[in-house]
């Protein structure tokens, strides 16, 4: 968010706290905060960070610019725009916001905006934009940037390492297969010039299990994590994907569609509990108890993609994580919050899970998900 000050634009987050505090002389702070609560009541998903950005910007902007402050800060999904417009008009009792902001808030006044003097679309500008997008937190993306990230995620390459199994297959070189050699020679009833048969152990891809958190607290990230899982399934047959909010759901069939948009719609139909509470321990317990699910865990690499904000029993989470770590080859926990500056895993859910985790990594942007493929390939070896 930016505030026009008559000169060069500056980030609202960099303004002194005193300037924000003085703007609340008439209770404007509670008014702006109440608007956020009203949006949430109408189903718009808004994170605490987005709320803070909007409040800080809203306290410093003119009334005519308040619409775009909220539109940029609070709306991350295209389908929420009509809801936002209606709630804004009902709450503030103002005319159509599209007609009131043209003179006071222009994208051309922002640095490198559409009306800026310098053209950022040169080769260096494009590289800088691409690099910035690579490290942009998913919760801070607009719809256009989200679509670009989804395109990048669809192009991720990942190959599961192979593992040796007990079954063997014929080969030109390898250990002499005595049983096969004798059996074939006796069947041919030949006594001389035996053909020596050799064999090697078969190799199969290791199994990867992804468990995605699609609860309310993960709503800024879950869409991209599902796309990431869709990309891995498209190039690896030995990947199982589950998601949970208040219950566990198997997603492989929904993610089998080659078109990522169709796959996302199919996942949405399968998960009516998405954007609700977080029951990590119960979901893992269901996974471990169900024979049709649990077989995929033996010797597999398991990656749990969640912020760890458990709302269920912490004791059940600790017990489930212990059983999971004993059954799987390795357990990695991917937490989008870990990418935040100063983050420490102090939530009760994370404290219960950490003793049973082999790798604890971040997963909040495109760069971290690219790194995750290398981490998963490494722990699979």
Using CA of residue 301, residue 303, residue 308, residue 313, what is the dihedral sign? negative
Tell whether 283 is covered by a domain: yes
What does the pLDDT average to over 57-69?
Answer: 69
On whether both 284 and 362 belong to a single domain, the answer is: yes
Q: What is the pLDDT of residue 198?
A: 65
| Last residue within a domain, chosen from 88, 118, 148 | 118
pLDDT beyond 70 at 15: no
Do 315 and 289 fall into the same domain?
yes
Alpha helices of 117-157 — where are they, by DSSP H?
123-134, 143-154
Is residue 84 predicted with pLDDT exceeding 50? yes
Give the domain range for residue 194: 164-204
Q: Is 305 left (phi over 0), alpha (psi -120 to 50) or beta?
A: beta
Considering the domain architecture, whether residues 80 and 190 belong to the same structural domain is answered as: no
Residues 278 and 248 in one domain: yes
- pLDDT tens digits along 189-235: 555 555 666 666 565 667 889 999 999 989 999 999 999 999 988 77
Q: Which of 28, 83, 25 is nearest to 54 (CA)?
A: 28
Residue 170 has pLDDT above 50, yes or no: yes
Distance CA 40, CA 66 (A): 18
Q: Could you tell me if residue 136 is inside a domain? A: no
Q: 230 and 186 in one domain? A: no
User: Domain tally for the chain?
Assistant: 3
pLDDT in tens, 309-363: 998 889 999 999 999 999 998 999 999 999 888 888 888 999 999 999 999 999 9
Integer Cα distance of 257 and 263 in angstroms? 5
């Amino acid at each position: 968010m930016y505030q026009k000050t008559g000169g060069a634009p500056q980030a609202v987050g960099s303004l002194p706290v005193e300037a924000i505090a003085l703007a609340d002389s008439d209770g404007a702070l509670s008014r702006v905060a109440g608007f956020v609560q009203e949006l949430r009541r109408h189903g718009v998903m808004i994170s605490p960070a987005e709320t803070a950005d909007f409040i800080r910007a809203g306290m410093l902007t003119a009334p005519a610019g308040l619409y775009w402050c909220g539109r940029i800060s609070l709306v991350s999904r295209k389908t929420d725009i009509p809801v936002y417009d209606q709630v804004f008009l009902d709450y503030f009792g103002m005319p159509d916001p599209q007609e009131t902001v043209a003179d006071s808030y222009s994208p051309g006044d922002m640095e490198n905006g559409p009306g800026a003097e310098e053209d950022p679309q040169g080769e260096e500008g494009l590289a800088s934009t691409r690099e910035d997008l690579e490290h942009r937190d998913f919760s801070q993306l607009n719809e256009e940037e989200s679509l670009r990230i989804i395109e990048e995620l669809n192009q991720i390459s990942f190959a599961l390492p192979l593992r040796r199994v007990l079954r063997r297959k014929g080969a030109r070189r390898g250990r002499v297969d005595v049983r096969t050699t004798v059996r074939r020679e006796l069947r041919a009833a030949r006594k001389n010039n035996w053909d020596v048969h050799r064999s090697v152990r078969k190799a199969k891809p290791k199994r990867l299990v992804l468990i995605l958190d699609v609860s309310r607290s993960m709503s800024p990230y879950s869409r991209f994590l599902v796309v990431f899982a869709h990309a891995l399934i498209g190039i690896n047959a030995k990947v199982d994907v589950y998601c949970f909010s208040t219950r566990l759901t198997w997603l492989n069939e929904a993610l089998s569609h080659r078109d990522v948009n169709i796959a996302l719609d199919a996942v949405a139909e399968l998960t009516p509990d998405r954007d609700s509470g977080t029951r990590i321990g119960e979901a893992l317990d269901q996974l471990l108890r169900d024979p049709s699910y649990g077989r995929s865990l033996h010797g597999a690499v398991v990656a749990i993609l969640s912020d760890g904000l458990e709302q269920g029993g912490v004791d059940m989470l600790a017990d489930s994580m212990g059983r999971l770590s004993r059954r799987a080859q390795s357990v990695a926990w991917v937490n989008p919050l870990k990418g935040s500056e100063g983050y420490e895993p102090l939530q009760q859910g994370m404290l219960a899970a950490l003793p049973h985790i082999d790798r604890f990594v971040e997963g909040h942007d495109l760069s971290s998900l690219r790194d995750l493929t290398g981490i998963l390939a490494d722990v699979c070896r």
